[in-house]
Structure 1
Amino acid sequence: MTDSIDLGPEDLKIVTLARSVRARNGVPEGAAVRDETGRTYAAGTVELESLKLSALQTAVAMAVAGGATSLEAAAVVSQATTPSDADRAAVRDLGGPETPVLLAGPDGTPRVQVTAG
C-alpha cells in the first residue's frame, strides 16, 4: 500500500500543491500536474451550475491553456480510494498512457500510484 509508494521531491511537490489548493479553497479535491518543462499547475474542484470539473480535469485544462504539450506526472488529494476513469483519461489525453497519477489522502499521505493508461 503506501509503503510501496516512494515519491521523489518533484512528486512530493505536486502532492503538496494539490493538498494546499484543497485546503485553501475548501473543495472536495485538489490536484496538480507537472508538464514536460517542469512547470506545475494546481487546481481545485469546479462545481458551477453549468460547469462541473474534477480538480485533476481542471489542472489538465490549465496546463493545456498554459501551453503544455505533455505531462510528466499528476497528483490528486481526495477522500477517494482510486483516481477516477475520467481523471485518468484527461491525464492520458495530454501525457500519454504511461503518465503516473498519484492519489493521496487529505493529509497528503500517498495511497495509490497508477498510470493514466
Structure 2
Amino acid sequence: MSDAEDRKIITLARSARARSGVPQGAAVRDETGRTYVATAVELPSLRLSALRTAVAMAASSGATSLEAAALVTDADTTEVAAEDLAAVRDLGGAGTPVLLAGPEGDLRATIAAS
C-alpha cells in the first residue's frame, strides 16, 4: 500500500466521522479498490462499531477480501478493539493493516489484524 492510498482511506474515515459528529469513523478498501465508509450503528437492537459497520458494508456488497482498513477516533489510544480486528481479519485475512489515526488524520499506529 502506498502513502497516497493510506492518506486517502484515512481521509475518508475522517470525513465520515466529522460529517456525522461522532467519535469514530472508519473505511475499508476491498480487493477491487472499492472503499466503504461508516460510523457506528447504535440502535436499541443493534450495536456495531464504525469499523465493524464498514466491514459489514463491504461484505454485504460482495467484497471477498480487504486490502486495508482505517479507523479515525478522538480517543487517545494506539489500540483497536479486539472485535474490530477480528472483523477485519474475517474478511481481509490475518495481517490486513488497520490504520489508526486521530481526528486530524495523524497516523498513530498500523496494526495487523491478526
RMSD in angstroms over aligned alpha carbons? 1.3
Structure 1 position 79, deviation (Å): 2.5
Deviations 1:42-87 (A, max 9, x none): 0001111111100000000000011100000000000331111011
Report SS of the residue matched to 1:12: helix
Which stretches in structure 2 are left out of the alignment for 5+ residues?
none
Per mean C-alpha deviation after superposition, the further-off stretch among 76-85 and 61-70 is 76-85
How many residue pairs match? The answer is 112
Say whether residues 1:92 and 2:89 are aligned partners. Answer: yes
The answer for the alignment partner of 1:57 in structure 2 is: 52
Which stretches in structure 1 are left out of the alignment for 5+ residues?
1-6
Alpha-carbon separation, structure 1, partners of 2:66 and 2:3: 16
User: Taking structure 1 as the reference length, what is the TM-score of the superposition?
Assistant: 0.92
More strand by share: 2
The answer for the alignment partner of 2:110 in structure 1 is: 113
* Runs (4+) off by over 2 Å: none
User: Taking structure 2 as the reference length, what is the TM-score of the superposition?
Assistant: 0.94
Equivalent residue letter for 1:20: S
- For residue 17 of structure 1, the aligned residue among 5, 12, 18 is 12
Identity of matched residues, %: 68
